[in-house]
Chains A and B, each alone.
Chain A
Amino acid sequence: MTTTAESLRCKECGRTYPLQALFVCDYCFGPLEVVYDYEKIRRRATKERIAFGPPSLWRYADFLPVSEKPAVDLQAGYTPLLKADRLAAELGLKKLWVKNDTANPTHSFKDRVVSVALQRALELKFNVVACASTGNLANSVAAHAAATGTEAYVFVPANLEIQKIIATAVYGINVVKVRGNYDDVNRLCTEIASEKNWAFVNVNVRPYYAEGSKTLAFETAEQLGWRAPDKIVTPVASGSLLTKIYKGYWELGEVGLIRRKEPAICGAQAEGCGPVAVAFKEGLEHVKPVKPDTIAKSLAIGNPADGIFALEIARRTGGVIESVSEQEIVDGIRLLAQTTGIFTETAGGVTTAVLAKLAAQGKIHSQDETVIYITGDGLKTLDAVADTISTFEIDPVLAQFEDQVLESGAAASAKQLVSE
């Protein structure tokens, strides 16, 4: 299989580079992005070919910057798209779907980007993979490294949720806890990447890595019967995911797999780390870095490198970038769980809460076909909701069950929601 990718191009000044482990423009430091031969993709990627592809993100390999038959495959992607009628009814909406990316091998969308990054790293003959992570990426890099027998170093903020550290270290790779926040970890890793010939999945192989997120858009369109929704809501940390979901829909239109239509792209941030939402609200052309302070640690990137691109896409497509409070994040997690059966981590709480806010503000209308992207599993951030749950405790005695549970008036009915 020959790749459909042609080169890397600077998003800032347009200079082009070969498909190597490069991530910023040598001249202006702008981020590099993979450029494809869309005629080649159009000829190759038919709906039939995709339908007969594997039930993983590799069914869209024609749209990804890999040059061989992918060897790295933990069956990431091709996750369920669920119609969320109970959540929709609660918010006054009619046509709402949840893309449930908790259903990935390490329970977050990061398996998509890591599959592509590791595949490309191995093609480029790297022996060591590494990453800076807020946790989900660490889990995924560790799992993919273990599965392929690749040496790995994973750098995380020392205050990360213990679940995420355990779920990374269990794979037997090197976990380095850095005393600092994610932005400190990222700076350190960028410095290390200058010294070591390692594949840092989100640094020097980032142009390939980031492309993996496009598959969220591809799958959504395929699962909707080859069309784009009217609006989507996705969490925003570095801004990369939002820009790639947009690119995915754009590419499907470009190669004729869907009618050319750009969904309104909406972004979700926490108020405690919402630099892109602030820039959106204030009409700024740049994103001012902040010091993160939020329970949504997987979104706690204070200096989002792709923030300005996310901002530009939201504005151009008629989307919004909105932020929510810590309480709204917890309520969002509970609302999603209690109406859809999906338990999400804090990032999904942010996304659900922003959906609720935009619906209440009338920025998402009842008839809009809307898809929200739930990118990570709630078991990773149990602490976020630990104080909000209630249970009954009784002796194994029927009378106690009747008195203390059924007759107490505290038992929840099936229809009862978090907001009641």
Chain B
Amino acid sequence: MSVSVRIPSQLRQLTSNESIVEIDSGTVGGIIMELENRHPGIAERLLDDGELRRFINIYVDGDDIRFADGLQTIVKDGSEVSIVPAVAGG
């Protein structure tokens, strides 16, 4: 089993235009490292000094990881991880 990671359009040049990447379960941080192994360059776009960049939100099954354990948040098999740019609204 694995988890699906939804890639925003801004990062799809790095994933050969794939919008969903299947990755083995683990922590969000571990998943980002595995993304980096497969698609070099993606980690520095998401992380700054090892922390999630402040204008990126990552959701696990719809829940913001900042409400869970951040990059240490555990992602179970079958879950969906969504990487979404922060957008002001109203």
Smallest Cβ distance from A246 to chain B, in angstroms? 14
In the complex, A298 Cα to B90 Cα: how many Å?
7
In the complex, A26 Cα to B66 Cα: how many Å?
22
Q: Please report which residues of chain A, range 295-329, place their CB below 8 angstroms from some CB of chain B when the two chains form the complex.
A: 298, 301, 303-306, 308
Q: Are A187 and B59 in contact (CB under 8 A)?
A: yes
Q: Are A31 and B6 in contact (CB under 8 A)?
A: no
In the complex, A286 Cα to B90 Cα: how many Å?
20
Which chain B residue lies CB-closest to A183? B64
Q: Chain B 1-41, CB within 8 Å of chain A: the 1/0 string?
A: 00000101110000000010000000000000000000000
In the complex, A305 Cα to B85 Cα: how many Å?
9
Contacts of A23 in B (CB 8 A): 85, 87
Q: Are B62 and A305 in contact (CB under 8 A)?
A: no
B79 contacts A by Cβ under 8 Å:
no
Q: Please report which residues of chain B, range 47-82, place their CB below 8 angstroms from some CB of chain A when the two chains form the complex.
A: 48, 53-57, 59, 62, 64, 66-67, 82
A186 in contact with B67 given A28-B53, A29-B55, A31-B55 (CB within 8 Å): no
Smallest Cβ distance from A292 to chain B, in angstroms? 12
Q: Are A26 and B10 in contact (CB under 8 A)?
A: yes
Smallest Cβ distance from A346 to chain B, in angstroms? 14
A133 in contact with B85 given A194-B9, A194-B19, A303-B64 (CB within 8 Å): no
In the complex, A30 Cα to B10 Cα: how many Å?
12
In the complex, A286 Cα to B52 Cα: how many Å?
13
A-B contact count (CB 8 A): 99
Q: Are A194 and B62 in contact (CB under 8 A)?
A: no
Q: Which of A137, A180, A239 contacts B62 (CB 8 A)?
A: A180
Interface size on B, residues (CB 8 A): 25
A289 in contact with B66 given A23-B87, A27-B45, A191-B82 (CB within 8 Å): yes
Q: Are B10 and A186 in contact (CB under 8 A)?
A: no
A90 contacts B by Cβ under 8 Å:
no
Contacts of A238 in B (CB 8 A): 88-90
Which chain B residue lies CB-closest to A135? B90
Q: Which of A110, A190, A301 contacts B84 (CB 8 A)?
A: A190
Q: Are B85 and A187 in contact (CB under 8 A)?
A: no
A137 in contact with B86 given A26-B10, A194-B9, A303-B57 (CB within 8 Å): no
- A/B interface sample: 30 pairs, CB < 8 A: A23-B87, A24-B10, A24-B55, A26-B10, A27-B45, A28-B45, A30-B55, A31-B55, A31-B86, A31-B88, A113-B90, A134-B90, A184-B62, A187-B82, A190-B85, A191-B6, A194-B19, A202-B90, A210-B88, A239-B88, A240-B90, A241-B90, A288-B66, A289-B64, A291-B67, A303-B57, A303-B64, A304-B88, A305-B89, A308-B54
A interface residues, Cβ below 8 angstroms from B: 12, 23-24, 26-31, 110, 113, 132-134, 136-137, 180, 182-184, 186-187, 190-191, 193-195, 202-203, 206, 210, 237-241, 286, 288-289, 291, 298, 301, 303-306, 308
| 12 additional A-B residue pairs with CB within 8 Å, beyond A137-B90, A206-B87 | A23-B87, A24-B10, A29-B86, A31-B86, A186-B87, A187-B57, A210-B88, A238-B89, A240-B89, A286-B54, A305-B55, A305-B89
B interface residues, Cβ below 8 angstroms from A: 6, 8-10, 19, 45, 48, 53-57, 59, 62, 64, 66-67, 82, 84-90
